[in-house]
Chain A
Amino acid sequence: MDTIEPSISAPQLLEDDDETGAVQIAPPVVAVVVTSDPGPWLEEALVALAGQDYPSLSVLVLDNGSVEDPTARIAAAMPGAFVRRRAERAADGFGFPAAANEALDVVEGATFLLFCHDDVTPDRDAVRLMVEEAYRSNAGIVGPKFVHDDHPEILLEVGMSVDRYGVPFSGIEPDEVDQEQHDAVRDVFFVSNAAMLVRSDLFHELSGFDPATFPGADDVDLCWRARLAGARVIVVPAARVRHRQSTTNETRPPAALEPQDVRAKTRSRIRVLCKSYSGLSLLWVLPTAFILGLAEVLGLLLTGRVRRGAALLAGWLSAFAHPGELRRARVETQRLRRVDDGDVRDLMIRGSARLRALVTSRLHAGDHLTEVSSRTRVRMQSTARQLRRAPAVVGAVLAVLVLFGSRSLFFGRVPQVGDFQSWPGVGAAWATFAGSWRMTFMGSEHAATPAFGLISMLDAVLLGHGGFARSLVVGGALPLGAWGTYRLVRPFAVSALPAVAATVAYAANPVARNAIWRGELGPLVCFALAPFVLGAFVRAMDDEDDRPERPHPMLTVGLLVAVAASVWPPALMLALLIGIACWLTTPFIRDARAAVRAAPLAAGATGIAILLCTPWVWSLLGADGATFGLQPRDALSLGAILHFETGRAGAGLAPWGIVAAAAVPLAIATGNRLAWATRAWMLAVCSFALVWLPARVSPGASVPAPEGVLVGAAIGLAFACGLGVAAVLDDLRSFGFGWRQVMTVVATVGLGWAMLGLTADTWSGRWGLDAEDWASTYAWMGSNPPAGGFRVLWVGDPNILPADVKRIGTTGFALTRDGPGDARAQWAAPEARADRVLARAIDAATSGQTSRLGHLLAPAGIRYVAFVTRAAPSSGARGTPQPRLADALARQLDLTLSRVETNGTVYQNDAWIPVHALAAPVAPGVKVDEHDPLASALRTEPGDVVGVPTSGARTGPIGPGTLLWSEAASMQWHATSGGRALVRRDAFGWTNAFTVEARAPVAVHFRAGAMGKLLRWFEVLCWAGVVAGWFVTRRRARARPA
C-alpha cells in the first residue's frame, strides 16, 4: 500500500526557548482534503493550505469518485499535494467519512490529521494556532471558527453542541456578526469535520469515522467517541476558516432530495445515540427522542410536509434495520468508554435543539429576548420598589377577610358541632383533669388529657367565661396560624411582602376552614401552632451559634407540640415529621449539618411533649384507634389531597393556586432560600403522603383527620410561597426574561385565586359551620332530669357524632350524660370492657340478633338513643349512610320513637334504668347478679327499679335494696352508709352494685391509688417547669448579641 510520509524538513515551528538552544521540530500534520466533483473552490482551498505558516504540513487530496479527474487541477494549484482517487463514490452519497478513513491506511508518521472539506479556506495561521492549542490544552480534537466565505465578518460556527437527543446546535444566530464575542478557547461537544484537527493516534484508536453515521452525524459521532475515550474536544476561535458551504448551498451537484436527506440524517442521529449512550441513559433518551420525533412528525403533517414527516419516521425505523451491526458498533464504542454519560452531558444543551433553532432562526428571538430581558429587569426593579408598599395593603385586606369570615365565631356563639362542645366551668374542667375517675363513656380510671387543665386555666384567665374562651380558640386559630406564618417567613427578606404572601397562602388554605366546618378542634389547634413549631426549627437550624440558645427552640417546640397533642394525639408526631422532612432533603441540598441540628431538636421536643402529657399519653399505648382520633374515613383522591379538598371549603380549584405559587422558589430561589424551600416541599410531600398512602395501602383503615395531617402540607407550601416571593424580589432580577418570569405571574395569579376562595367562604361568618347544633336541638333531654340521672347513646357515622366516639365496624357510638353533654365527653379514655359490652349490644341489634336493644342498654342508664346522620341538624358534614343501623333501631321492641328531625332520630328506651338506681330487695325481674352482661340485661325489667337522686357522690336516704351504680365495674368503687362500708359487687356483670340493708344516705366514691395522684402533680410541675424554662431561655436568647 502506498503511504504518505509528511515532510519534517520544514522550518522550525517555535523559537528557541531553552538554555540549551535546542530546536523544537514542528509535529507533522497531514491535511486530508476530501473532494468530490469539486467546483472552482478547490483550488482556493489548496492555495490556502499551501500558504499556511505551519512548517510541517503535508496535503493529501482524496477524490471521492469525481466524474472528472481533478488531479491536474490539484497539481496546478498545489504541486506538492498528494492525490488519491477512489474509484466509486460511497453508496450513500458524498461519503466523506468513508473517504477520510483512507487516511488510516495511507498516512503514516503524522502527529495530527487535519480533515478538510474542499470548500474551506483557512487563514494563514489557522493550522498553527490549532496545533499549538492542541498541545496547550492537551486536546484530542480541535476545531476552528468558521465564517462565511464571502462575508468573513458573519459567523457560521464556533464549536458545536448537541441536545440530549443528538440534534446539533451551534448557538450562533443567523447572520451574527463576529465581534469576537465567542473568541475564547473552550471545550465543545463537537467540531465540524469541515476543518477538524485530530490527533493521529486518537484517530487510529477510534478507528476513524463511522461511515454509517453519514450524513449529518459523522463528526458528532467521532467527537462523542473521542470524549468517551477521555479526549478533549475544543474550539480555537483564533483559528479562522472561511467555509463556502457548497453542499448546503446546493452549489455542488447532485443535491440530495430533501426527504431522503431527512431520513438519512435521522438514521445517523439515532445510530449515534444508540452507540454512545450508556444502557441506563438509553432507557429514557430513546423514548423521549421518539416522542419528540413524533411531535415533529405531527407538526410536519399539520403543515403539509407529509413526505418529510414520513422520511423522519422512516429514519427511525431504518436505524434499527440491522440490529446486529448496530449492536456490534455499540459494543465497539462502549469499549472506548472512560467517562460517564454525566460528564459528557455537561456539554450538551438542555431542552430541544430543534425548538431552540426554530426560535433563534425563525423568530429572531435572540434580539427580542435580549430586549425583553433588559426591559423586564428594569420593570422588576421598579416593581420591587412599588411592592414595598404592598405588604401593608395585602395584610390589611387579609386581616379584614379573616375577621369578617370569623365574625360569628367571635361575636356570636360557637355551635357545638363535632369537637366544639361547650366547655365545662373552671372547677369542672380541673376536676376532670385532676380527678381519678373520667366521665367518658362508662367511666374510666385512666388519666385525662392535659387539655382539660389548659381549658381550666384559660377559663380562669377569662374569669370563667368558658364560652368566650372557646370562641377565642375556634375563631382565633386561623388568625393565629396566619400570624405564625408571617413570623416564620419574615426573616427571609428585607421586604415584608414575602411574609405577607406566605400568610395569605396559609390563611387561604382550606384546611382550617374545613376543620371548622367539621368541628375538628384538634386539627384546628394544630393549624394554629404549626407555623410556630416550624419557625422554631428554622431559627434553630439557621442559628450559627449552637449554644446556649438550643434549649429555647426545643422548649418552644415541646410546649407547642404538647398543647397540640393534648387536643389531638396525632400532633405528637408534628416535630418528628418536620425533622424527618429535614433529613430527607439532605441528599438534595447537601447540608447534613442542618439535618444533624434538626434531629435532636425534633427528638428532644417530642420527649418534652411526652413528658408534659404524662401520664395521659402513656394510657394511649395499646389503646384503640378511636382514642388516637383515628376513624375510618372516605378515601380522598390524589387530586383532592393536593388541593386540600377535604370538605366543603376551598372554592373549587382555587387551592391549586397555592401549589403553583409554592413551586416558584424551586425554580428561582438560591442559597438558603432554596434549601428551605426544598425542606418545605419535603414537609408538604410527607404530609400529602401520610394522607394518601394509608387509603391506598389499607382501604377502610382508620386514619386521623385529613385536615390535621394536611397542616404539614399547608405550612410547607405557605412557607415555600413566601420564599418564592422573596426570591422573586431578590433573585429574579439576575435572570433574563424566560419561563421564570412567566412562572412568577402564574404564582401571583394562583395566590390571588386562593384568596378569592377564602373570600367566598367568608359569607357565613363562621366558615360554613352550621348555626344550629344537636346540643340545642336536643336540649329538651336535659330539662326535668329524672332522679338518678341518665345517659344518651349517640350512634351513627363515627366522624359526625357530637362526642368522642368508639366504633363497632363502621358504626360509631358515644355516650353523654344527662343530655347532649359537653366537652367532658371529648378525649375519651381507651376502650374498656364496659365499652365493648355496649359495642356488643349495638352489634347484636344491627345484625338482627335482638329486638331488645333497650334492655341491653338499660344497665348503662341509657334513656335516649340518638341516631344522627349529619354533624349538625340542617347542614354540616354528612355521615356515611348506616341503613342497617337505622333499620335495626326501628325494629326494636323497647325503643319508642321520641323525636324525628331531618337528620336525626331520637328513641326513648322503654326499659332504661337510671344511672343511680335502687332495686327492691326482692326483684326477680332485675338480674343484677348474672355475669353475662347481655344475657342478664336481656330479661331485666325496670319495673322494680327507681332512680336515686344524688348530690355529688352522695345519695339521699335510700334502702333497703340494691344500689345500682352505673359506672364501669371496678373494685375501687366504695360506698358507705351510716358509717359502714357497703359490699360491692358487679351488677349485670359490668357495672357496680351495693347492698343497702337499711334506709340511709349512701356516699359513693372512687378510691384511686396514690401513684395516680402523684403522677398528676408531677404533670403539673412539669408544665410549670417547662414554661418557666421557656421564659428563662427566651430572655437569654434575646440578650445574645446579634
Chain B
Amino acid sequence: MKSRRTLFVGALVAVVAIAVAVGNAKRPHAEASAAPPLASGLPAGSPRAGSVWFCPGLPSSLPGRDDRVTISNVGDAPADVVVRVLPDQGQRSETTFTVGASSVATKPRGELGPEGALTIEAFGGRIVIEEGIDGRAGTDVTPCATQGAAQWNFAAGLTPRGAQQWLVLENPFASDAKVDVTLRTSGGVRRPERLQSFDVRRRSRAVIALHDIAVREDRVAVQVDARAGRVVAAQTLVFTSDAGLPGIATTLGTPTSSDRWLFADGATANDATTRLAIANIGAVDADVDVQILPENNQVVAAVTLSVAQDEVVWARVGGCAPAGGADNCVPAPANVPYAIDVHTEGGGTIVAQTLTRGAENSAQPGAATSLGAPQPARSWVFATDRVDRERSTTLAILNPLPQPARVDVSVLHDGRVEHPDGVQGITIPPNHRASVRIVAGRRPSPAPRALVVDASAPVVVERSIVGAADVSQSLGIAVG
C-alpha cells in the first residue's frame, strides 16, 4: 500500500507540475475582440442598404447662400432616400424620393425643408452624400457623416477681422447630448464656460459662433467631447471682404486622432497661400515632421515642428522667405503640385488641417480647407465632380506606400458607369502623387457626376473644385 500511496502522490505532483509548466508556457489568447470602430465622420466601409448620413449644414446666418445636397447612388440598385430635416425652427419635415442606380441627384437645400441639419436614410443601393454651397458667399462641397461620435477635432480655425468661425453640432439621435468644447488658441487652452456641458437637444443642431467667444485669435483649434450621447460636428470658416477675397471653407471634423496625416492636394500658386495647422491633442509634446512630396519628384527636406501639448502651430507651406525669414515655413517648389505627409516622432497624437487662401485671379481663389487622411484606402468615392460656376475639378492621388499603385477612375451618371480612357491604369510610384483633371474650362456645367477611384494599393484621393471665385478642397469618401 505504501508504494501505491507513493505512486499516487507522485502522479498527483507530476500532474500539477505539468499543469504549472503548461500554464507558464505562452498562453494562447482568445482572439481579441475587434476594437470598436472609431466613429467616423466619413464612412469606414461600403455604403450599405439601410445606411444613414448626417449633414450638419451651414450656419443659417450666411449671406447669399445657395446650399445644395448631392446624393449619388454608386450601387447597381435604386435607393429609396428619406430625408429628415432637424429644423432650427419649426416642425420637422420629411422628404422621400428614389435615386436610380449609378445616378446622381442634386437637391437645392431649400427643397428639402427649413434650415437645419439633415438626417438622410437610404434603403437599397450604395449611397454617398455631400453637401455644399455654390453661390455668392462662396463655393464648397464636403461629405456628410455616417456616424455620430463622442469626439471631434478641427485644427485650422482663426478669428481675425473679417473671419468667422462657426461650429455646427448635430445630434441626430433620440437622446440629448452634452458636449464640452475646448479651444486651443494662440493664447492657450480655453474652455469657455458656456460651452461646457453644452446641451444639444435630441434630433436638433446647435450653431456656435466661435468668433464671438475667441475673438481675434490667429489660431483656434477646436475639440468637441460628448459627455453623453453622440454628435456630428462641422466647422465653417467664412471670410468676408474685410479679410480679402470672400470665401467659405467648411469641413466635417475628424473623430480620430493620429500620429500621421496625409494630404494629397497641395500647390503653391501665385497670389495664394497655403498654411498647415497642427494641433497637439495628445498627452505629450510632439515633434512633427512635415514632408513635402512634389509631383515632379523633386527632393525636399522635411521640416520638423515642435508642437507642445495642447498647442496649435501653423506653418506656411511654400513661398518661404529666404533664410532668416519667418518661422514655421515648410519649403515647397513653386508652381508644382505636391502632397504633404505629416507625422510625429514618438507616436504623439495630432490633428492636421490645411487652409488655403487666394486672390480672385489665383488658381486657388477664395478659401479652402481640408483635414488630411489618417490612413490610405483602396477605393474612394465623390458624390459630385462639379459645381455650377465651374473652372476646374482635379483629383490629386497620393500613394504613400512603398509599392506602386495602379489607379482607375470611373464616372457614374444617369444610370451609366463610364471608364474614360485617360483616367484608367494610372500608375503612381511609391511616395508620389499624381493629378487627374476631371473638369476643365469655364463652360456651364452639365449634370454632376459621381466619381469612383479604385486603386490596386491604398492611396489618398483629394478633390479640388475651383469655382468662379472660390475653391473647394475635400478628401474623398473612403469605401474600401
Known contacts A849-B48, A850-B50, A883-B36; decide if A896 and B147 are in contact (CB<8 Å): no
**Given A851-B52, A890-B175, A895-B174, are A666 and B8 neighbors across the interface (CB < 8 Å)?**
yes
- CB pair A589 B174 closer than 8 Å: no
How many cross-chain pairs have Cβ atoms below 8 Å apart between A and B? 104
A884: CB under 8 A from chain B? yes
Q: Contacts A666-B5, A696-B22 known; A891 to B39 CB distance under 8 Å? A: yes
Residue interface bits B226-264, CB-to-A below 8 A is 1, else 0: 001110000000000000000000000000000000000
The answer to whether the Cβ of A894 comes within 8 Å of any Cβ in the partner chain is: yes
Asked whether A392 is an interface residue with its Cβ less than 8 Å from the other chain, the reply is no
Which residue, B30, B31, B172, has most C-beta atoms of chain A within 10 A? B30
B12 x A681 contact (CB < 8 A): yes
Closest beta carbon of chain A to B139's beta carbon, Å: 31
Take A892-B174, A895-B174, A938-B123 as given contacts and tell me if A700 and B31 are in contact as well, using a CB distance cutoff of 8 Å. Answer: yes
Main secondary structure of the interface of A (DSSP, over half): mixed
Residues of chain A lying within 8 A (CB to CB) of residue B30: 632, 635, 699-700
- Chain A stretch 825-869: residues in CB contact (< 8 A) with chain B: 848-852
Closest to B24 in A: A638
Q: Which of B40-82 contact A (CB under 8 A)?
A: 44-45, 48, 50, 52
A810 within 8 A of B: yes
Complex: A781 Cα to B198 Cα, angstroms: 30
Q: Is B15 an interface residue (CB 8 A)?
A: yes
Q: Which residues of B contact A907 (CB under 8 A)?
A: 174-175
Bound form: Cα–Cα A887–B229 in Å: 9
Residue A276, interface by CB 8 Å: no
What B residues does A810 contact at CB under 8 A? 33
Q: Which residue, of A632, A848, A850, A907, has the highest number of chain B Cβ atoms within 10 A?
A: A848
Binary contact readout B141-163 vs A (1 if CB under 8 angstroms, 0 otherwise) = 00000011000000000000000
Q: How far is the CA of A910 from the CA of B45 in the complex (A)?
A: 27
Task: State A685–B15 Cα separation when bound (angstroms).
Answer: 9
B32, closest chain A residue (CB): A700
B52→A692 contact, CB < 8 A: no
- Using Cβ atoms and an 8 Å threshold, which residues of chain A touch B228? 897, 900
Residues of chain A with a CB closer than 8 A to B36's CB: 883-884, 887
Q: Which B residues lie within 8 Å of A670 (CB)?
A: 1
In the complex, whether A637 has a CB less than 8 A from a CB of chain B is yes
A892 touches B9 (CB 8 A): no
> Given the complex, which residues of B lie within 8 Å of A848, measured CB to CB?
37, 44-45, 147
Residues of A within 8 A of B15 (CB): 685
Given A666-B9, A852-B50: A897 touches B37 (CB 8 Å cut-off): no
Most B CB atoms within 10 A — which of A590, A810, A850, A900? A850
**Is there contact, CB below 8 Å, between A896 and B12?**
no
Give Cα distance in the complex from A987 to B147, angstroms. 31
Q: Given contacts A637-B23, A883-B36, A896-B174, are A588 and B50 in contact (CB under 8 A)?
A: no
Q: Is B1 a contact partner of A893 (Cβ separation < 8 A)?
A: no
Q: Which one of A588, A696, A883, A893 contacts B8 once the chains associate, using CB atoms below 8 Å?
A: A588
- Contact at A896–B8, with CB atoms within 8 Å? no
Is residue B202 contacting chain A, with contact meaning CB distance below 8 A? yes
One of B39, B52, B229 near A897 (C-beta < 8 A): B229
Q: Distance in Å from the Cβ of A1020 to the closest Cβ of chain B? A: 44
Residue among A849, A897, A939 making CB contact with B176, cutoff 8 Å: A897
Q: Give the complex CA separation of A966 and B466 in angstroms.
A: 57
Contact with A along B7-41 (1 / 0, CB 8 A): 11101100100011011000111110110110100
- A674 contacts B123, CB within 8 Å? no
Q: Is A678 interfacial (CB 8 A cutoff)? A: yes
A324 within 8 Å of B (CB atoms) = no
B223 interface contact, C-beta 8 A: no
Evaluate whether A890 and B7 lie within 8 angstroms (CB atoms) in the complex, with A699-B29, A883-B36 already known: no
Contact B4 A590 (CB under 8 A): yes
Kindly list chain B residues whose C-beta atoms are within 8 Å of the C-beta of A632: 30
Note all chain B residues with C-beta closer than 8 A to A850: 50
Of B19, B48, B148, B175, the residue contacting A896 (CB under 8 A) is B175
Contact with B along A900-923 (1 / 0, CB 8 A): 100000010010000000000000
B119 interface contact, C-beta 8 A: yes
Sorting the interface of chain A by its residue count into under 10, 10 to 19, 20 to 34 or 35 or more gives 35 or more
Roughly how many angstroms separate A883 CA and B119 CA in the complex, as a whole number?
A: 24
A810's nearest neighbour on chain B, judged by CB, is: B33
Instruction: State the Cβ distance, A373 to closest chain B Cβ, in Å.
Output: 19
Min Cβ gap A375→B in Å is: 25
Bound-complex Cα distance A426 to B136 (A): 77
Q: Are A699 and B28 in contact (CB under 8 A)?
A: yes
**In the bound complex, CA of A890 to CA of B202 (Å):** 12
Nearest B-chain residue to A938, judged by Cβ: B50
User: Is residue A809 within 8 Å, beta carbon to beta carbon, of the partner chain?
Assistant: yes
The complex places the Cα of A907 from the Cα of B229 at a distance, in Å, of 12
Report B-chain residues with C-beta under 8 Å of the C-beta of A939: 123
Q: How far is the CA of A181 from the CA of B202 in the complex (A)?
A: 100
A window 697-730: CB within 8 A of B: 699-700
Q: Which residues of chain A in 766-820 are interfacial with respect to chain B, using CB atoms and an 8 Å cutoff?
A: 809-810
Asked whether, in the complex, the Cβ of B174 is within 8 Å of the Cβ of A894, the reply is yes
Query: Are B176 and A638 neighbours in the complex by a CB distance under 8 Å?
Result: no
User: Nearest chain B CB to A853's CB is how many angstroms away?
Assistant: 11
Partner of A891, one of B20, B23, B123, B148: B148
Cβ–Cβ contact B4 & A893, under 8 A? no
Asked whether A678 and B147 contact (CB < 8 A) given A810-B33, A849-B50, A891-B173, the answer is: no
Q: State in angstroms the CA–CA spacing of A938 and B1 once bound together.
A: 73
Cβ–Cβ contact A892 & B48, under 8 A: no
Query: Contact between B230 and A588 (Cβ–Cβ < 8 Å)?
Result: no
CA distance A637 to B34 in the complex (A): 24
**Contacts A852-B50, A893-B119: A588 and B4 contacting too (C-beta < 8 A)?**
yes
B147 and A891 form a contact (CB under 8 A): yes
Interface residues of B in 105-150 (CB under 8 A from A): 119, 121, 123, 147-148
Bound-state CA distance A587–B7 (Å) is: 9
Interface centre among B44, B172, B173 (most CB of A within 10 A): B173
Q: Is the CB of B37 within 8 A of A890?
A: no
B83 to chain A, nearest CB (A): 13
| Residue of B whose beta carbon sits closest to that of A666 | B9
Q: Do the beta carbons of A896 and B202 come within 8 Å of each other?
A: yes
Which residues of chain A are within 8 angstroms of B230 by Cβ–Cβ distance? 887, 890-891
Q: A589-B4, A700-B31, A809-B33 are in contact. Are A890 and B12 (CB under 8 A)?
A: no
Return the contact of B174 from the options A585, A587, A893 (Cβ within 8 A).
Answer: A893
**Closest CB of chain B to A586's CB: distance in Å?**
11
Cα A878 to Cα B52 with chains together (Å): 34
Q: Contact check, B12 vs A685: say whether CB atoms are below 8 A apart.
A: yes
Known: A674-B1, A685-B15. A893 touches B29 (CB 8 A): no
Chain A residues with CB under 8 A of B172: 893
What residues of chain A lie closer than 8 Å to B8, measured between beta carbons? 585, 588-589, 666, 678, 681
**Shortest distance between the CB of A937 and any CB in chain B (Å):** 11
Q: Is the CB of A893 within 8 A of B19?
A: no
| Given A852-B50, A896-B202, CB of A890 within 8 Å of CB of B44 | no
- B173 contacts which chain A residues (CB < 8 A)? 890-893, 895
Min CB gap B273→A, angstroms: 39
Chain B residues with CB under 8 Å of chain A are 1, 4-5, 7-9, 11-12, 15, 19-20, 22-23, 27-31, 33-34, 36-37, 39, 44-45, 48, 50, 52, 119, 121, 123, 147-148, 172-176, 202, 228-230
Can you sample 11 A-B contacts with CB below 8 Å? A589-B4, A638-B23, A678-B5, A700-B31, A809-B33, A852-B121, A887-B36, A892-B173, A893-B172, A896-B174, A897-B174
Interface pairs A-B: 7 shortest CB-CB:
A700-B30, A897-B175, A896-B174, A699-B30, A588-B8, A884-B36, A851-B52
Beyond A891-B230, A900-B228, 13 additional pairs, beta carbon < 8 A: A637-B23, A667-B5, A678-B5, A696-B23, A696-B27, A699-B30, A849-B48, A850-B50, A852-B52, A887-B230, A891-B147, A893-B173, A939-B123
A residues whose Cβ falls under 8 Å from a Cβ of B: 585, 587-590, 632, 635, 637-638, 666-667, 670-671, 674, 678, 681, 685, 692, 696, 699-700, 809-810, 848-852, 883-884, 887, 890-897, 900, 907, 910, 938-939
